[in-house]
Structure 1
Amino acid sequence: MITIYHNPRCTKSREGLCEIENLNQPFEIRKYLDEPFTKNELEEVITKLNISPIELVRTKESIWIENFKGKKLSDSQIIQAMLENPKLIERPIIVNGNKAVIARPKEKINEIL
């Protein structure tokens, strides 16, 4: 089953959701600001994305700039920052089995179908 980690207030996330809806495949929506990631879930998504944790961070968010920018952080510290501040997580994230993409642009969803 396809899962979209979604923030309804984000234009790119809404575009990704629309793209998923047009696939006519079963999917589930996870509003990760309302239902935050657990540490294991976030680590699993990062593994499926095949990226380092910093690549999932929205580094232009004020939370990042004010609290973390310029600091030398370990991967586990970056993951902890995202767990404590879910707004820092890039979106939307689409997971299909053992594959995942950050759907920016929305056409990246096709890479995991």
Structure 2
Amino acid sequence: MIQIFHNPRCGKSRAGVKYLEDKGVEFEIFKYLDEPITPDELQEVLRKLGKRPLEIIRTKEDIFKEEFEDKELSDEEWILAMVEYPKLIERPIIINGDKAVLGRPAENIDSIL
């Protein structure tokens, strides 16, 4: 089952959901701001994306600017920061089996369908 890390308040995230709906794809929504994610789960998402933690950090978020902008953290520390402050996680993330992609732009989703 395809899964989308979704924030309903984000236009890009809503566009990802609409893109999947328009394609007629069955998927489940993971509201990552409401449902906690564990460090191990986030590490698995990163593996599927083929990215390091800093590559999926939202650097324009206030929490990043206030708490992290001038810090150099290890990958493990970034993962813990994203678990504690899930707003830092880029969205939407679409997962299909052992592959994942950032859905910005939504057309990126095609690469894992």
Task: Report the TM-score range of the alignment, normalised by the length of the smaller protein.
Answer: over 0.9
Indicate whether 1:4 and 2:4 are aligned: yes
Indicate whether 1:23 and 2:29 are aligned: no
Give the CA deviation at 1:34: 0.8
CA distance in 2, matches of 1:40, 1:5: 16
Further displaced range: 88-97 or 17-26: 17-26
Cα RMSD, aligned residues only:
0.7
Q: Identify unmatched segments of 5+ residues in structure 1.
A: none
Give the TM-score normalised by structure 1.
0.97
Give the TM-score normalised by structure 2.
0.97
CA distance in 2, matches of 1:70, 1:91: 23
Amino acid paired to 1:27:
F
What percent of counterpart residues are identical?
58
Q: Identify unmatched segments of 5+ residues in structure 2.
A: none
Partner SS for 2:4: strand
| Number of the residue aligned with 2:90 | 90
Give the CA deviation at 1:25: 2.4
After superposition, what is the alpha-carbon deviation per residue over 1:84-104, rounded to whole angstroms, capped at 9, x for unaligned? 000010000000011100100
Further displaced range: 42-51 or 19-28: 19-28
After superposition, what is the alpha-carbon deviation per residue over 1:26-84, rounded to whole angstroms, capped at 9, x for unaligned? 21111111112111111000000001100010011110111111211000100011000
CA distance in 1, matches of 2:22, 2:40: 30
Give the CA deviation at 1:12: 0.1
Partner SS for 1:32: coil
